[in-house]
Chains A and B, each alone.
Chain A
Amino acid sequence: MSHLPYFVAGWILLAGVYGLVTTRNLVHAVVCLSVAQSSTYVLLLTIGFRKKATAPVFSDIKPGRHVVDAVVQAMTLTDIVVGATVTALLLALTVQVAKRRGTVDPDELRSLEP
């Protein structure tokens, strides 16, 4: 079953989306979005994996040794940085929503009043 790791990424994405849809708390929703996003880390890293290869750092291995794909690792780093900042931004919005509307339940936030 050589495609199983890819399916793990899909499963994590669906779990995160399920949490987003059923959540009753905006903080929980932000965490669910982080879970959904972490599926992209898993997908990128599994695509870059190579059997019997090592980390793409040549300070202590000889050139010519097989290494895992460094491009997707760099993309994962970008992904994590953007994910962390978006989480901070959404949590800041949640703080303001809680202060202005007195609730963090998305079901009670119907109208667009300020």
Chain B
Amino acid sequence: MSHRVRLLVLAFGGAGLAVMFAMACLRLPHFGGSWHPYGERVVPGALRRGTPNVVSSVNFDQRAFDTLGEELILMASALAAVLILRTVRAEQEESAGRHAYGPAQVFDALRITGYLLLPITFLTGVYVVAHGYLSPGGGFQGGVVLGSAIHLIYLAGDYPALARIRPIPMVESGEALAAGAFVILALGFAGQVTPMNAVVGMEVGCAVVLVLARFFEQALLVKEHA
């Protein structure tokens, strides 16, 4: 299909979508209106179970079964990304030391900032996970903070240290354990918001670390044979 034909098809489809979307939107309740039947029903449910953060209550108590599906999607796509990025046979993984960006290549200020921010960011992640039932936050958000915190050490210019503080086999086991624990919690003990937050935080953190580890390998370690 030539570029011009493709644009014509897009213009036709886009115009149709725009018209139908606009017609559908005009039938929606007014923006900012007070008619929220579901929103009004979840609040008493959350307060009855003693979870002040209604979003956490919806995710881990009232719709915990849906979150189970979301959780498994997350694990499946993390797993798929890791599988797709596995080192293929034609390539050889070089030792981590050879491509390490030595301290000399990074500004001192950046290095110190990375090392200083690592514990603070890690603590923030734990806080966001642990207070998910009480304040904005939760396992998904905190897990991303935890998973990214570790990579500050890479920004500080020390790839070998990053490889040391996140041993991949342990992270893989952590991911699997957390996913299994979440299935058990969601099916048998839905409503335990704090343990579920902790498990989700662990799983999301491990998934972030695993996927990023594979991308790092691709970028830093894999060199194709000519």
Q: Give A residues with C-beta under 8 Å from B.
A: 2-7, 10, 13-14, 17-18, 21-22, 46-51, 55-59, 63, 66-74, 77-78, 80-82, 84-86, 88-89, 91-93, 95-96, 99
Contacts and interface: CB of A to CB of B under 8 A. Distances in A.
A34 B214 CA distance: 21
A7 B7 contact: no
A46 B5 CA distance: 35
Given A50-B32, A68-B39, A80-B140, 5 more contacts: A3-B25, A6-B28, A58-B43, A59-B53, A70-B42
B73 A49 contact: no
A77 B140 contact: yes
Chain B interface, >50% SS class: helix
B69 to A, nearest CB: 9
Given A49-B31, A49-B32, A85-B78, A21 B7 contact: yes
Nearest to A70: B54
Contacts of A78: 59, 66-67, 70
B174 interface: no
A7 B224 CA distance: 48
A49 B196 CA distance: 27
A3 B85 contact: no
A29 to B, nearest CB: 14
A10 B47 contact: no
B1 to A, nearest CB: 10
Contact of B77 (A17, A22, A86): A86
B99 to A, nearest CB: 17
Contact of A93 (B47, B78, B84): B84
Interface string B1-19: 0000011001000100110
Interface in B85-122: 85, 88
Contacts of A4: 31
Interface of B: 6-7, 10, 14, 17-18, 21-22, 25-26, 28-34, 36, 38-39, 42-43, 46-47, 52-55, 57-59, 63, 66-67, 70, 73-74, 77-78, 80-81, 84-85, 88, 134-136, 138, 140, 144, 204, 207, 211, 214-215, 218, 224
A10 B42 contact: no
Contacts of A89: 77, 80-81, 84
A95 B85 contact: yes
6 contacts: A2-B31, A10-B22, A58-B53, A69-B38, A70-B55, A85-B74
A57 B54 contact: yes
Candidate in B17, B42, B54, B136 with the most chain A CB atoms within 10 angstroms: B54
Contacts of A14: 14, 17-18
Nearest to A80: B140
Contacts of A47: 28-29
